[in-house]
Structure formats: structure tokens, C-alpha cells
Amino acid sequence: MTTLPLWLIVGFLGAGKTTVLRRLVRYANERNYIFLVNEFSAVDMDAALIEREGGDALVVAGGSIFCRCRVTEFIEALTRIANGVQRPNGDIIQPQGVIIEASGMADPRSLRRLLAESKLDSHYHVAGVVAVVDPGVLMKLFLVLPNIRGQITSADLVLLNKVDLHNPETIAKVREKISSINPDATIIRCTQGNVPPEIILADSPASRIAQVDAEFGLCQDPNFEREVIRFKTPVDNEKLRAVFAAANAEGLYRAKGFVSTTDGWQYLDWSNGTFSLTPCPPATGDVSCIVLIWNPLLANAVTSQLRGLEHFSEKCTR
């Protein structure tokens, strides 16, 4: 029986997974691949971006697909895809492959166990695991977040992203560390995830994931807190910039969202001290909000400052 290829893209918050995915949309559409996006927060952001690029995407939100609380929903989504997916216009598509974006905190080593125990290995085979890495933060992450090591251990391909932002010594040190953990992984240096799609989506029957295994993760990870800040009226651009200019890089991991601003709708993106607002026409059903993920053990003033804006409507901590 022919099984569908399944590619898993992992990487910590802000490493560049979303950029990589958006580069894959046209290639995926030509081959009838579907995206399955895992959002740690309760609000979907990345799937919406993929759909804006013209891709087909499903979403599992509110935690990691490899934790006990979301694994059933993940299995249901894969089962649905295997049986055909209905587009908003009513068309039914039969995907020829699945590209999964795991949340930044995911440890993917339980994927083999998941497919076997759910019998989904009769529908899918793991064609490859791609880890996207920001060399500027990887060494620190190894010290505080064990899931990051799991991402590297599982990977067939490691994209050493953002190499234009770091010196050669840092790049060499990170590359050496990755090779010591996973000597079989192919490592490619890149900027803005610019790697040919046919390399990222190569179908490798000898994927590393077949050699690693782990239990499903905990529902509550003490290293992460999440919140969604919603706004009732357009937010002043400069006020947003001022809040994130003072962001505590140690406490805040990631911020992103579609925001109605005084200059129109914008896609807000913050990670590792880099802030951007990009014009982004609203899609049907868009809510003006920002998703934030931070370390509850470290100080983080951004959430309280955002709540203090006169445009603030409500928060959601699911």
C-alpha cells in the first residue's frame, strides 16, 4: 500500500519556521501537499499566513501536538487529511503529502510512537524532519530547554538560519555542537530560510525519526506561559514600537499577530529583540490581537504594557 509522505518542520520560537513554510507554499500547491500547523497559543497565526499565500492549511492550536493534551486532536487531523479535506468552496482535495509545522516547544521524538499506536503508519511515512535553528540563541536554549535537544536529535536536515546576523565563530561553534548531537544530520547555512524546496521536501525513507523515541510531553510546561492580547480599536504604531523596544529579551520568547493600527492592518512580529510591522490586508474573520509566549520564571513587562494601552479589549490565556 502506498503511504503519503509526511514532513515535520521544528524549531524554537523565532528561528524562522514560518518564513520557511511561506517559501514552500507554491511548491506544495503544485504537488497537492497540505499544511498542518501547530500553534502553542489558542489563536491561529501561521495557518492564516499560509492561506494568505494561497496554501491549504489545517491547524491544531492550544498546545504542542506531541503533548498528551493535544495528541488526540493531532491524530484526528491526520486521519481527516488521509480521508480528504474540504476547502471553503466545497471542493474535496486528496492531499499527496503533509507538511507539519510543530510548535516551537515541541519535542518530536514521539512521532514514530504516535503513528504506530494510532495505526496511522498505514497511511503515512515520515519523509523527513527539518529543524530550523537560530545560531544566536541555540547554545543558551540547550541549557534551559531539553526539548531543543530532542529537535536536533530527530532532524534529518538542520537549517542554520540567519547566518547573516552572526559572526563566523558563532556559526562554527553552533555547527560543531549540532554535529556532536546528531552527526548524521545534513546542515545547511541559509538566510531567511532560503533553501530550495526540493531539498527541504526530499522523501527520505531512512528518516532519523525511525531511530528515536520518547514519551508524549506534559500538558503544562513550566517554562512557558501564553496570552492573547485583543484590541477593540486601531492601535498607534509608535506606541506598539515603544512597547517592544523595551521588551525583555530574557523573559519574552515570541510575539506575533494581526493588528489593526492607525496605519491599517499590520502583521506584527517580534523575536530575539527584532521587531517588525508589515502591511497585511485583513482576511475574513480577522481579530486584532497579539499572541505572546514568555518564560513565567523571568521578568516580562510587555504583557502589562500592552494591557495598559487605551485600545486594549481583553486577554485570553488558553
Domains of the chain with CATH codes: 4-211 (3.40.50.300), 225-316 (3.30.1220.10)
Of residues 2, 11, 37, 249, the one with CA closest to residue 107: 11
- CA atoms lying within 13 Å on the CB side of residue 86: 3
Q: Which amino acid is at 141?
A: L
Distance from chain centroid for Cα 184? 24
SS3 content of the chain, % helix, strand, coil (to 5): 30, 30, 40
| Cβ pair 162, 16 in contact under 8 A | yes
Q: How confident is the model at residue 51 (pLDDT cuts 50, 70, 90)?
A: confident
Q: Which residue has the cell 518564560?
A: 295
Q: What is the pLDDT of residues 135-149, one digit of tens each?
A: 998 998 887 777 888
| Segment 64-80, tens digit of pLDDT | 777 777 788 888 999 99
CB half-sphere exposure, 181, CA atoms < 13 A: 22
Phi and psi torsions of 277, nearest 5° = -125, 120
Task: Give Cβ neighbours of residue 196 (< 8 Å, ≥ 6 apart).
Answer: none
Under 8 Å between Cβ of 40 and 293: yes
Residues with Cβ within 8 Å of 223's Cβ and at least 6 positions away in sequence, in order, are 105, 144, 145, 295, 297
**Of 96, 100, 124, whose CA–CA distance to 112 is shortest?**
124
**Per residue in 81-134, pLDDT tens?**
998 887 777 788 899 999 999 887 778 888 888 888 899 999 999 999 999 999
Q: Is the pTM of this model over 0.75?
A: yes
DSSP 3-state of 108: helix
